[in-house]
Amino acid sequence: MPPHDFPRPLALALGGGGALGAAHVGVLRVLAQRGIVPDLVVGTSIGSLLGAAYAGGMPLPVLQRLVLSSTWSDFGSFSLAPGIGVLDTAALKSTIEQIAGPDLLIEDLPMRFAAVATDLRARKVVIMDRGPVADAVAASSSVPGLFRPTRVGEREYVDGGVLQNLPLESAFQLGARYVIGVRLAAEWDAFPRLRTSTRVHEFEIRRDVTVITPRLGERSQWIARDLPRIIELGGEAAERALPASA
């Protein structure tokens, strides 16, 4: 179908996958080339970080440079205090604020955006579509065992990938009529010790969903290696899956 034939609202769902998130940049580049502009961006973990930058209007060349130059120190700082996880999200929040601006609210972004996190106590998916961008992205990206849970208000949150690594369902809950999803890792591969939801399979076979799955081979989400090629693999997958520009 031509790009203008996508039912509206059109959502872009960016999945979690650590360093493999570089593939999202390649997908975004092809979307721009094809003239496909979503009405809503929903992200989990690294997908929430890059999704917030995209929804905030960051030019793709700038976003690509940031991805290629990023290190672990941009995302986490070691914490000596006792608790779950060895890193806190202070560095991550600082990185988000550098990308999106300090004290920026989700509702003030030029494009509608939501981050998906997991409520640690209630063990349920939470869609964060209001409030500070930095809090929402940090909550969505707090990988259990690696990062301390992120406290927002009275609640503590961990990575959205625990329950919904590819946020197709959340995109539809927010009113999307068609969703383009970018899947970086299988649901059960995201957190090997925590069996995550497999409802994504029910969505993959629907006619109102296109899932882009880059061929990432044996590349690890935990090792930032060969990022330029990962970006290209994301672009190649998008070119296979998406309609050419009219």
Residues with active-site annotation: 45, 159
Mutual orientation of helices 227-241 and 60-69 as an angle, nearest 10°?
140
Integer CA distances (angstroms), 211 to 1, 79, 103, in order: 15, 37, 33
Give the length of the chain: 246
Tokens 């409802």 locate to 199
Closest CA to 171 of 16, 42, 22: 42
Torsion of CA 191, 60, 177, 117, to 10 degrees: 30
Q: How far apart are CA 106 and CA 196, in angstroms?
A: 27
Helix (H) or strand (E) holding 85: none
